[in-house]
A and B are shown apart, each in its own frame.
Chain A
Amino acid sequence: AQSVAQPEDQVNVAEGNPLTVKCTYSVSGNPYLFWYVQYPNRGLQFLLKYITGDNLVKGSYGFEAEFNKSQTSFHLKKPSALVSDSALYFCAVVSGSARQLTFGSGTQLTVLP
Chain B
Amino acid sequence: DAGVIQSPRHEVTEMGQEVTLRCKPISGHNSLFWYRQTMMRGLELLIYFNNNVPIDDSGMPEDRFSAKMPNASFSTLKIQPSEPRDSAVYFCASSSSGRDNTGELFFGEGSRLTVL
Chain A contacts to B: CB under 8 angstroms: 32, 34, 36, 41-46, 49, 51, 90, 94, 99-101, 103, 105-106
The A-B contact count (CB < 8 A) is: 49
Rounded to whole Å, the gap between the CB of B36 and the closest CB of chain A is 12
Report if B108 contacts A (CB, 8 A): yes
Q: Which one of B91, B105, B109, B110 lies within 8 Å of A101 (CB-CB)?
A: B105
Rounded to whole Å, the gap between the CB of A65 and the closest CB of chain B is 14
Q: Which one of B31, B42, B104, B110 lies within 8 Å of A43 (CB-CB)?
A: B110
Known: A99-B31, A99-B48, A103-B43. A34 touches B91 (CB 8 A): no
**B43 near A100 (CB under 8 angstroms)?**
no
Chain B contacts to A: CB under 8 angstroms: 4, 31, 33, 42-43, 45, 48, 50, 55-56, 91, 93, 97, 102-110, 112
Main secondary structure of the interface of B (DSSP, over half): strand
Contact partners of B33 in chain A: CB under 8 A: 100
Q: Which one of B55, B93, B108 lies within 8 Å of A99 (CB-CB)?
A: B55
Q: Which one of B4, B31, B93, B103 lies within 8 Å of A34 (CB-CB)?
A: B103
**B43 near A43 (CB under 8 angstroms)?**
no
Known: A49-B104, A106-B42. 19 other contacts (CB 8 A): A32-B102, A34-B103, A34-B104, A41-B110, A42-B109, A42-B110, A43-B91, A43-B109, A44-B91, A46-B105, A51-B102, A99-B48, A99-B55, A99-B56, A99-B97, A100-B33, A100-B103, A103-B42, A105-B42
